[in-house]
Amino acid sequence: MTRNPEIESLSPGLYIVATPIGNLGDITLRSVDVLSRCDAVACEDTRVTGKLLKHLGISKPLLRYNDHSKDSDRRRILDILDTQAVALVSDAGTPLISDPGYRLVQDAQEAGRMITSLPGACAAVVGLTLSGLPNDRFLFAGFLPNKDKARRETLEELAAVDASLIFYESGPRLVKSLEVLGEVMPARDVAVARELTKLHEECRRGPAAELAEHYTRHPPKGEIVLLVGPPAAMKVDAVDADALLLAALETSKASQAAAGVARKTGMDRKQLYARAMELRGK
Ligand code: SAM
């Protein structure tokens, strides 16, 4: 007997489905397949998801699930997951990433329901790859707090992190955030990635103060990812590097010492490793 995959139903459970962040062409084949074959779609805003499904020629029952949902709404979806396949989507991008769904996933896990996650667009990752900032280590920090004091404190706390930082931002708040960034981390490379995957996509890089001035003159429209490069590489000469390597070699292997000093100084890890081997041999 042959099976028709088009009408074969999905196993019951929760399917976390990423959707585009602007360009509808970014929906994945797997996302379309699951949205076509699921029994229902849990979504933040039925109008937004209704439009996407219409564009894809798909019609499904829509269950509203967002930050205002009550515990009883979540329990209702959990019950449905026992016998039906439910796709969880957000208005755009990857569900749960600064979007609802975390408690639903946690409860579904605890209840022993099947859960799987379909990868796709996520503005934080698109912004990072486009920014030209170092991406070997990054910290995604979602939206900065709205209140001035809390925003400054958050930035002061994150200034010590040895990694690129990624924030979600909005047009009306961007200049203020850049001004505070300019005070808290004046030497850092900053990037503003705007309207990603859309017609007016833009990525502008520079010191925070310069970007604040630019966006004061040209108030930004649309959606924004704000990125900050890692703490500036220290200016070190060969003697300093030797001292740092010797200190690190007291407690670490040559490879670890080289990696640590490379992170601190921005110097080439392979050269530092070669020098660490020399120093160890002395
Ligand atoms: N879950 C989504 C994701 O995976 O990217 C993010 C949802 S969050 C509520 C919305 C924020 O993501 C926006 O305020 C903006 O900061 C960022 N964002 C979403 N789409 C974007 C785009 N096309 N360009 C730039 N930033 C975007």
Model's pTM, two decimal places? 0.83
* Residues in the ligand 1 pocket, defined by CB under 6 Å: 21-22, 90, 92-94, 97-99, 122-124, 168-170, 193-198, 223-225
Locate 105 and state its tokens: 């996933």
Calculate mean pLDDT across residues 61-70. Answer: 94
Last residue of a domain, one of 121, 139, 172: 121
Residue 5 in any domain: the answer is no
pLDDT tens digits along 92-128 = 999 999 999 999 999 999 999 999 999 999 999 999 9
Per-residue pLDDT at 206: 95
The answer to whether 242 and 261 have CB atoms below 8 angstroms apart is: no
Residues 9-26 have pLDDT tens digits of 899 999 999 999 999 999
Taking the CA of residue 170 as reference, the ligand 1 atom at the shortest distance is 14
pLDDT at position 267 is: 77
- For 238, half-sphere exposure in the C-beta direction (CA atoms, 13 angstrom radius) is 4
Q: How confident is the model at residue 2 (pLDDT cuts 50, 70, 90)?
A: low
Task: Tell me: do 75 and 137 sit in the same domain.
Answer: no
From CA 230, how far away is CA 210, in angstroms rounded?
A: 18
User: Ligand 1 pocket: which of 19, 66, 105, 224 to mutate (most atoms <8 Å of CB)?
Assistant: 224
So what's the pLDDT on residue 5? 54
Q: Which atom of ligand 1 is nearest to the CA of 168?
A: 16
Tell whether 49 and 147 lie within a shared domain: no
Q: Is residue 3 part of a domain?
A: no
Confidence of residue 40 (pLDDT cuts 50, 70, 90): very high
- Domain-located, residue 61: yes
Q: Which of 98, 194, 198, when mutated, tests ligand 1's pocket best, judged by the most ligand atoms within 8 Å of its CB?
A: 98
Kindly report the backbone phi and psi dihedral angles of residue 75, in degrees, each rounded to the nearest multiple of 5, phi listed first.
-65, -35
Domain of residue 110 covers 13-121
Distance 97 CA to ligand 1 centre (A): 9
